Amino acid sequence: MSAGSRLENANPTIFQRSGERLLTATEEDEDAHDPIDDREIFDILSINDPEHPLSLEDLNVVEQVRVKVDDAESSVGVEFTPTIPHCSMATLIGLSIKVKLLRSLPDRFKIDVQITPGSHASEEAVNKQLADKERVAAALENSSLLEVVNQCLTSRSI
Amino acid sequence: MAADSSLLLSLVEEYVSGLQDSKAKDTATGVKDGEFTVLQLVEALGLSLTSSQPHTRARGVQLLSEVLHECYGNLTEREVEVLIAFYENRLKDHYVITPSVLQGLRALTKCAALPPGSAVSMLRSLFQDVHVQSLMLAERSCVYSMLINLMETREAELKGLGADFVFGFVQSMDGERDPRNLLLAFQIAKSIIHRGYDLGKFTEELFEVTSCYFPIDFTPPSNDPHGITKEDLIEALRAVLSGTPKFAEFVLPLIIEKLDSDVQSAKLDSLQTLTSCVSQYEHKDLAEFLEGLWTSLRREVFQTSSERIECAGLAALTALTSCLSRSVLNSDSEDSLSTFLDLVLTDCKHHLCEPDLKLVWPSAKLLQAACSASSRASHIITAAVMPALVEQYSSRTQCSHRRTLLEVVLRFIQSVTSSQSSENEESMFLAFRQSLCDMVFSALSETNSSLQITATTTLTSLAQQTGLLLDADIELAVDHLTRLLLTEEDEKVSVAVVSCAGALAELHPTIFISKFIPRLKKEMFSEPMDQDNNREASEKHSHHAVRQQCLSALAAVSIRPSVVQESTPVLLEVLSSAHAGSVGFSVEEVVLACRSLQKIAEQVQDTEETGRCFHELIIPRLLSLALQAALQGEGSSGRRSPLVEEVVLSAVVSVIGTSCSRLQPKLAEQTAARAVSLFLDGDVSFLPDNSFPSHIQLLKQPQRESWSQLQMVCLLMGCVCSLPRSVAVPQIEQLLSQLEEMSCTCTHPLSYTSAAKCFAGLVNKQSQGDSLDSLIQRTMKRVCGELDSTSSPTRSQAFTLMIWVAKGLLLRYHPLSTALTDKLFSLLDDADLGSMAAEGFSLLMSDSADVLNRGCHADLRIMYRQRFFSENSAKLVQGFNAAPQEKKSNYLKALSNIVNKLPKQVQITELPALLNLLLEALSCPDQGVQLSTLSCLEPVLIDPPPALIQQLEALFSRLLALVSSPTMSVKITSLRCIHALSRLPTHEIFPFRARVLKALARPLDDKKRRVRSEAVLARGEWYLVGSPGGSCLYSHERTNENLEQH
Amino acid sequence: MKQALTLLHRLSAHPDSRCWYVSWNPSGTLLASCGGDKAIRIWGREGDSWICKTVLQDGHQRTVRKVAWSPCGNYLASASFDATTCIWKKKDNDFESLTVLEGHENEVKCVAWAPSGNLLATLDEEDEYECVTVVNSHTQDVKHVVWHPTEELLASASYDNNICIYREEDDDWECRATLQGHTATVWGLAFDRTGQRLASSSDDRTVKIWKEFPNEAGQGDSSWKCICTLSGYHGRTVYDIAWCRLTGALATASGDDAVRVFKEDESADPDQPVFSLAAQVTKAHDQDVNCVAWNPKEAGLLATCSDDGDFAIWRFQEEE
């Protein structure tokens, strides 16, 4: 491993996973309507961190309390917290979160992905990039960038 | 002899000059048959051996060597002596002769008749006259084989050579490149070390000549016929390098150096070799390298990205520490263990106290690895670390920090447990008992659920430390656990609390008997009304949830017989109070009480004591309560006892069945006999609270049908159908005939079905023979008669009995089962029973919960499903083709019911033939058929047979159509199938990608969450199909690009 | 007052993809659309309905972000994320690719013809203009460019929240004014009929009206000032704005899926204009509305397009 490719944060603190959502009787009821809720969005976001072979949830990059969804208003807001304040992967993590949500939510949703306030040195710049749908669209047509994003989104089949 | 000698001469002539290789074999045969001796052969070779042409001489020696290769076993000592002298001499000859000479010498090394001294002389000549590494591969191999052979048989003699032997070997293998030869050379080096050959002043040379291959870097060529792997070489070399402490001063610096390597496999090999080395070493071998080794190990664990390397590093640290711990026993010099652990503690301990706790895990892992090495190491480390951890814990306010610290503590306790040499040893945490208890109890009082869960695990570990916790601590622990059990809403915390209570109760039964069980009993029996007035804390927590927790906790703590004696009466009291209506327990709570009884029956040790408890007390009590409830029927008050409810009865059946199947066969037999006399003769004498009327007839249809009494037959099934097959059921014939009668005539579904199941359960265990056959035939006749008369009012009853008997016989491969299953096939066309018949196949193929399963000791052959399928699949296909359109769905349903239950291997081999039928079944409007076909397709799709690949278009159209089915379960399963298809080869499925992505957009907005979740998973995977990065491995360099514009 | 937007037609222009932009030809008879499916489609009216006259495929390897007709109506320029600009020539009823302009290093996000038809401005991520010259005034990528209706004067909107005005000076294009005021990316720009005023739309969810004032000393560059800000109307980013040269109505396209039309109060002080919301359709499209375009000849005819892949044609009804 050359110095250039050393991991930025070799020993992130690992948090306990929240475990599988338990099924409720309503969810089994054919006729009941289950609104899309925060936990559901949070579960969708079990994305691989590009630096660590763990999911973003393990690293508390995404926490359930930082997910806000309004099913009726068709809006989703996610704040993520990069593991260290200068993490250069922040944009990539954010892009992966955004892409995962674009692929996983109905078209009607407006999706906002932002860095948790105060957790990253270039918070505004990253937020602005993630909010620009033209840049996001262009990025996803760039095959090497798409490759990295896809790798983050590959479910780990062990 | 003259004739022989001329034969010999001609053989020699033909081999040497005529170059006929086959003559060597003929010559050898001659020697073996005694036609001539080896020495005569040497004589006959005379001319060729003295020829001026090296090639002729070589040919001559070659003949001799080949003969020796065949005949070395028959040589005399004298012959060997001459031959050795001859060959030694030839070693000095022209190089073209050497290969044959070596071949001959190798044959001689295998001789049992090797004269004393010849081994030494052979080797001296070899080392002196031959430069091994200029030989060809095969000849070098020959030299190694000679050494191996001689080391096997002439060890003492070779040792007499002293260090010269080692030197000779070192020179021979120096520069070896071939992996096969290296394996031989490593084997020799290993023997030299392990068998105590004198290394003399050549220790370093032996090390150098082998260690130059470390770490092994070898990739076997594809199609390598020799099958040598990198691992073979690594293992062989490791055995050499770690074989002797004499190498310590060379190998340890080498390992330190190689750990610096960027190659992951080199790091791993170095760490594993280190682990292997130190297991042979004493502390003095390590002394001067400890610092260097520690620096490397620490770096690997702190900085690695690979779990394997981290594990190997920690294992090496444990081995190192354990080496130092061992040596200290016979050393009065400096205590190297404490010196080393000081080093470890200096580097790691402070990380446990850093404000951000970033490096807390790797530091803790290192300390724990050292800790688990020996009890002395544990003492030193825990004494140094625990006070710091305790202090940290109390000074932190963030829950996540506290949890991290508590988990670190937990791992320390666990690592110490693994190092403790004996159970009787005093716990090393004795000094910290109070602060550890404070920590755990404070964590249990927090509101953070993951902190609470960690605390319960820690509590369990502490309790397992011999003599650590005082009774007062356990009492306090019980208070905390009880409080959490009664107030906690988080299901994961409750589960952790229950399992902690179970572990503690096994170790400290008395406190659980005196405190825990009475407290739980009080909570369960208090009515919800009282609670709302008195206690605010539990208002949020519904009373039902509290009872549920108490019931499962009662089961969890009931492992020791003494606890079972106290807990089961509480559970029985729940049932009797519910029956009497004195305390308001819901039907669900009554069921849970039964489940707890069943769980206890499952988990207790099968002792006489617990057996009596179940057979003498619990089962009679259960039967008595059920009978009281049944007799009371709907009673005058209009209130129905929960004990007549079907769910409750089947829970009671499980309790009885589990007890009868696994507790004390003798007592179980008694239970069965009592049950039979209760049901046949109305004998109620063994039941407690005996105030029953004397003329009870439970299996006879009364004038005015009372279903509540009839359904009691399911309890009879519990008593008689779960016994081991060796236990006989009394009055079996009468019992069977009454059961048959009841199952054919009764109109109450639960009753006639239970009677049929009980009948089938008994028939399944009856011994083979005429009486069984005639019984079956009689029943079959009656059943078929009913089924053939389409106007009969009891066709459903006959059908139920038929299907259960068919199952009972099918499981044991009884030949008469075919007649019944054929009848079932014919009913698929029946106007009334067709769809029941189709469902019947599911019953035949699946395990039933309460009868005819392995737990009930049923006669059950392992392959019965496959056998049934292979005997009947053709019938099904024919029936389908012949059936009228409106009946076809019954066949499809039957098919999917059967295929669904087959092992995947069988499904894959059978699927191609049935594929069209299954695809047809997917378009069948019946949702049941869709569902079972989908669930049988799903596992097959993960590794689909080629036949399926050719039908992808049809498959995708049908699956994508089912995604918009109105039924949730159909949607979910079809989405799973589509998900599974994303793993097929990209070139096969890429053409469907756009269609799939579009079709899966809709279920993302389904009203059911479970549908959406499946759609999210499937769509996510389909996005990756044929997209960059979708399948290949991740490479780090790529991430430099991001959304920044260039 | 009875003013409304009535839906006349809705067509799936770029199915399973997004429609980024629509553009009327100068005579108002044809509409070009482009999108994420790498294609350009030309639509024309036939009787009472709109049909796809032709599909221009294979010109671009990636998303076609914008299209622009030449003032004569015979050429079409398309800008793509594949870093090229294509010029298509109309030939009978079809189009042929005339030339491909390469020279951008990154995605080309906008293209516009100068009123004379001689100059074509394209821009990519790094604020470069092609053909004539390369100008670097913005610190970030440029989102949109428009030409002044009569003069050879160019305005650009950028990710750096600013708008720049350029004029030719000694064969070179120079930035003559930087309009600061928006607090987020500026996505859309539109000149009014006279070219004295410029409307801009932004990710800060506002629309601003800018006016050119002659320099007080009467010489040198004139200065541009913001004379009006429309805020509180848009729920998300305002992606595009169009100023009708026939009616003076201002239309906006927004990420809140709505299309809105604003009218100016003619009695107000021209230096302190008042715009009021004349009509809005809140669910004009199922997803973000990306573009609004007034028909140049038929007053009140408005085209819009959206991420949902559709384009729609609306009638803006003036007060009776």
DSSP C103: -
Under a CB-based contact definition with an 8 Å cutoff, are residues B901 and B868 in contact? no
Instruction: Give residues with Cβ within 8 angstroms of B845, minimum separation 6.
Output: B865, B868, B897, B898, B900, B901, B902
**Contact in structure between B1011 and B968 (CB atoms under 8 Å):** yes
Could you tell me the pTM of the whole model?
A: 0.64
Q: Which fold has domain A34-153?
A: GMP Synthetase; Chain A, domain 3 (3.30.300)
C188/C236 Cα distance (integer angstroms): 14
Sign of CA dihedral B945, B947, B953, B956: negative
C61's torsion region: left (phi>0), alpha (psi -120 to 50) or beta?
alpha
Characterize the bridge pairing of strands C259-264 and C250-254.
antiparallel
ipTM of the complex: 0.88
Q: How many angstroms separate the CA of residue C254 from the nearest CA in chain A?
A: 12
Is the confidence at residue C319, as pLDDT, over 50?
Answer: yes
E strand residue ranges, A47-127:
62-70, 75-80, 110-115
| C-beta neighbour count of B779 within 10 angstroms | 23
Q: Enumerate the domain spans of chain A.
A: 34-153
Do B1005 and A136 make contact, defined as CB atoms within 8 angstroms?
no
- Contact between residue B564 and residue B621 where contact means Cβ atoms under 8 Å apart: no
* Predicted local confidence at residue A6, as pLDDT: 44
Minimal Cα distance from B997: which residue of C?
C16
A72 contacts chain B (CB < 8 A): no
What are residue A70's DSSP bridge partners? A75
Residues B713 and B687 in one domain: yes
Tokens for B960, please give them: 């994508």
Contacts of B1 by beta carbon, 8 Å cutoff, 6+ apart: none
Count of residues for chain A?
A: 158
- Write the CB contacts of C67 (distance below 8 Å, at least 6 apart in sequence): C21, C22, C23, C32, C33, C34, C40, C76, C77, C78, C79, C111
Q: In angstroms, rounded to a whole number, what is the distance separating the alpha carbons of residues B233 and B215?
A: 10
- Tell me, what's the pLDDT at B455? 93
Rounded distance, CA B454 to CA B477, Å? 14
Using the Cβ of B1045 and the Cβ atoms of chain C, whether some distance falls under 8 Å is answered with yes
Same-domain check for residues B725 and B787: no
Q: Are residues B703 and B664 in the same domain?
A: yes
Exposed e or buried b for every residue in B197-228, given b needs 16+ CB within 10 A?
bbbeebbebbbebbbebbbbeeeeeeeeeeeb
Q: Residue B103 has what pLDDT?
A: 92
| C139 to chain B: closest CA residue | B1045
b/e per residue B365-377 (b: at least 16 CB within 10 A): bbbbbbbbbbbbb
- Cβ of residue A118 closer than 8 Å to a chain B Cβ: no
SS (H, E, C) B316-369: HHHHHHHHHHHHHHHCCCCCHHHHHHHHHHHHHHHHHHCCCCCCHHHHHHHHHH
Contact C157, C178 (CB under 8 A): no
Which is nearest to B554 in space by CA: B493, B625, B485?
Answer: B485
- Cross-chain residue pair C16–B1045, CB shorter than 8 Å: no
- Residue B210, domain member (yes or no): no
pLDDT for the residue B946: 77
With CA atoms as reference, the chain C residue closest to A73 would be C256
Chain A residues in contact with C255 by the CB 8 A cut-off are: 110, 133
pLDDT tens digits for range C91-121: 877 888 888 877 676 777 767 776 655 556 6
Q: Does residue B716 sit in the same domain as residue B747?
A: no
The reply to whether residue C125 touches residue B994, judged by beta carbons under 8 angstroms, is no
Q: Are residues B635 and B702 in the same domain?
A: yes
Residues B763 and B721 in one domain: no
With an 8 Å Cβ cutoff, are A141 and C62 in contact?
Answer: yes
> B142: helix, coil or strand?
helix
Look at residue B127 and tell me if it is in a domain: no
Peptide bond into B215 cis (omega under 30): yes
Hey, what are B729's tokens?
Answer: 């059921």
Are residue B676 and residue B746 in the same domain, yes or no?
A: no
- A3 pLDDT more than 80: no
Helix (H, G, I), strand (E, B) or coil at B837: helix
C-beta atoms of A134 and C109 within 8 A: yes
Give residue B221's region: left, alpha or beta (phi > 0; psi -120 to 50): beta
The reply to whether B803 falls in a domain is yes
Q: Chain C: nearest CA to B492, how far in angstroms?
A: 41
Tokens of A6: 């050393």
Within 22-41 of A, beta carbons closer than 8 Å to B belong to 22-23, 27-28, 30, 32-34, 36, 40
Q: Say how many CA atoms lie within 13 Å of B703 toward its Cβ.
A: 0
Buried/exposed code over B973-1012 (b: 16+ C-beta within 10 A; e: otherwise): bbbbbbbbbbbbeeeebeebbeebbebbbebbbbebbbbb
pLDDT tier for residue C189 given thresholds of 50, 70 and 90:
very high
Q: Range of B791's domain? A: 732-861
**Tokens (6 digits) for B601:** 């029956």
Sign of torsion over alpha carbons B606, B610, B616, B621: negative
Which of A5, A51, A148 lies at the smallest CB-CB distance from B1029?
A148
C-beta atoms of C106 and B994 within 8 A: no
The answer to whether residues B561 and B609 touch, using CB atoms and an 8 Å cutoff, is: yes
Helices B399-419, B375-395: axis angle to 10 degrees equals: 170
Q: Residue A11: which of B362, B968, B1039 has the nearest Cβ?
A: B362
CB-CB under 8 Å, A30 with B968: yes
User: Comparing C137 with B790, which gets the higher pLDDT?
Assistant: B790
Residues in chain C within 8 Å Cβ distance of A107? 286-287, 307-308
Q: Are C59 and C76 in contact (CB under 8 A)?
A: no
Query: Minimal Cα distance from B971: which residue of A?
Result: A30
The CA distances from residue B138 to B95, B98, B169, B356, in Å, are 15, 12, 17, 63
Cβ–Cβ < 8 Å for B571, B561: no
User: In Å, how far are A140, B485, B520, B751 from B494, measured between CA atoms?
Assistant: 45, 6, 14, 38
Amino acid B693 reads: P
Residue B752 in any domain: the answer is yes
Distance CA C121, CA C138 (A): 15
Q: Are B79 and B96 in contact (CB under 8 A)?
A: no
B1046 → closest Cβ in C16, C106, C140: C106
Q: Which of A23, A91, A106 sits opposite B1043 (nearest CB)?
A: A91
Per DSSP, the three-state class of B936 is helix
B227 interfacial to chain A (CB closer than 8 Å): no
Query: How big is the CA angle at A91 (ends A86 and A93), to the nearest 5 degrees?
Result: 100
Chain B residues with beta carbon closer than 8 angstroms to that of C16 = 994, 998
Are residues B707 and B687 both part of a single domain? yes
At residue A28's C-alpha, the angle toward residues A23 and A34, to 5°, is 80
Q: How many CB pairs under 8 A join B and C?
A: 11
Q: Which of C36, C184, C237 sits opposite A137 (nearest CB)?
A: C36
The residue type found at A70 is D
The upper half-sphere exposure of residue C32, i.e. CA atoms within 13 Å in the direction of its Cβ, equals: 27
Q: Judge if B770 and B726 occupy the same domain.
A: no
- Distance between CA B455 and CA B497 in Å, rounded? 9
Answer with the residue of higher pLDDT: B236 or C137: B236
Q: Specify whether the CB–CB gap between B281 and B297 falls below 8 A.
A: no
One domain, residues B720 and B737: no
Residues of chain C positioned with their CB less than 8 A from the CB of B994: 16
Structural domain contains residue B791? yes
Determine, for residues A10 and B303 on separate chains, whether the beta-carbon distance falls below 8 Å. Answer: yes
Q: Which of A7, A130, A146 lies nearest to residue B1027, judging by beta carbons?
A: A146
User: Is residue B704 domain-resident?
Assistant: yes
Identify which of B994, B998, B1045 has the shortest CB distance to residue C126. Answer: B1045
- Cα B157 to the chain's mean position, in Å? 51
pLDDT at site B46: 83
Q: Which of B998, B1045, B1046 sits opposite C16 (nearest CB)?
A: B998
Pairwise CB contact (< 8 Å): C106 & B998: no
Residue B922 inside a domain? The answer is: no
Averages of pLDDT over runs of 10 residues in chain B (1046 residues) are 69 83 87 86 85 87 90 87 90 88 92 88 89 88 93 90 90 89 94 90 92 87 78 93 92 92 86 92 86 91 78 93 77 75 90 76 89 88 90 84 88 78 70 90 88 92 86 92 88 91 92 93 77 49 84 93 93 92 88 95 90 92 91 68 90 94 90 91 84 76 71 92 90 92 90 94 92 93 90 91 95 92 91 89 90 91 89 87 83 84 77 80 82 80 78 92 92 93 88 93 93 93 84 32 40
**Residue B61 in domain:** no
Contact A132/C at CB under 8 A: yes
Answer yes or no: do B570 and B709 share one domain: yes
- Look-up: residue for tokens 């030839």? B90
Mean pLDDT of C255-273: 91
Residues 394-413, chain B, touching A (beta carbon < 8 A): 400, 403-404
What pLDDT is stored for residue A86 in this prediction?
A: 67
CA distances from B499 to B473, B493, B494, B605 (A): 18, 10, 9, 18
